[in-house]
Amino acid sequence: MHSPMAKILIVDDEPQIRRFLRASLSAHDYEVIEADTAANAIKVLTVEKPDLVVLDLGLPDMDGLEVIARVREWSQVPILVLSIRADESDKIAALDRGADDYITKPFGMGELMARMRAALRHRQQAEGEAEEPVLALGDITVDLSRRLVTRHGQAVKLSKKEYELLRVLASHPGKVMTHQQLLREIWGDAYVEETQYLRVYVGQLRQKLEADPGRPHLIVTEPGVGYRLQGEEAPPL
């Protein structure tokens, strides 16, 4: 018997959704554990220590946004929200509280599993970053210790802000970073509403790094929410 790829906690109060996800994920060698309430989810998290959480926001005993905030007080486990709530404000709220990604129901298993792989890769890279701070993203490499970016082995000249934007995105591969998160980290709290800054610098990065800047596959826009640096396995959005 080979070991499972990862342990996944499904938090959803709908039994049919949990059954469907358990069958689908188990078929791909994931170990699946379940919780039907926020209280059960937090208890299972502390005991089982899953590698990733798939979380519905509409739980009977606590809003999922509060669950994210509580978990982030003591754990950095990847959290992928799977919810019927499709408003941009809900997505931004979940991501700002610390969710790694957000998918709306109804959903496709192919997309869900690609997003899961991206989140799991991000966790592995974050854990190994101190030992190997070089991120490989297709033909792009980002050497965090040397502040060096290469494409096809050739150095790419970036401005200070271009590099900082790429560094933040590259430090969270596959994770949606909201406009406010990026602006706060790169420009400071006084600039959290200046989204035009991001449009300009993302456009400049795409010109330098994308094979086709008009159809980006590396730096992907989440409309109204933010941007993600996409790994090769994740489908274009």
The pLDDT assigned to 235 comes to 38
Tokens of 223: 């409309």
pLDDT digits (tens, 9 = 90+) for 105-141: 888 999 999 889 888 887 776 665 444 577 787 788 8
Residues 6+ apart with CB under 8 A from 194: 183, 187
Q: Check residues 105 and 237 and name the one with the higher pLDDT.
A: 105
Of 7-11, 51-55, 87-91, the one with minimum mean pLDDT is 87-91
What's the pLDDT score for residue 126? 63
Residue of higher predicted confidence among 173 and 99: 99
Per the omega criterion (within 30 degrees of 0), is the bond before 60 cis?
A: no
Strands 101-104 and 134-137 come out as unpaired
- Rounded alpha-carbon distances, angstroms, from residue 100 to 19, 76, 159, 161, 205: 23, 10, 27, 24, 23
Q: How confident is the model at residue 143 (pLDDT cuts 50, 70, 90)?
A: confident
What pLDDT digit, counting tens, does each position of 24-76 carry?
999 999 999 999 999 999 999 999 999 999 999 999 999 999 999 999 988 88
pTM of the shown model: 0.72
Q: What is the pLDDT of residue 132?
A: 52
pLDDT of residue 91: 92
For 27-77, the DSSP string reads TTT-EEEEESSHHHHHHHHHHH--SEEEE-SB-SSSBHHHHHHHHTTT---
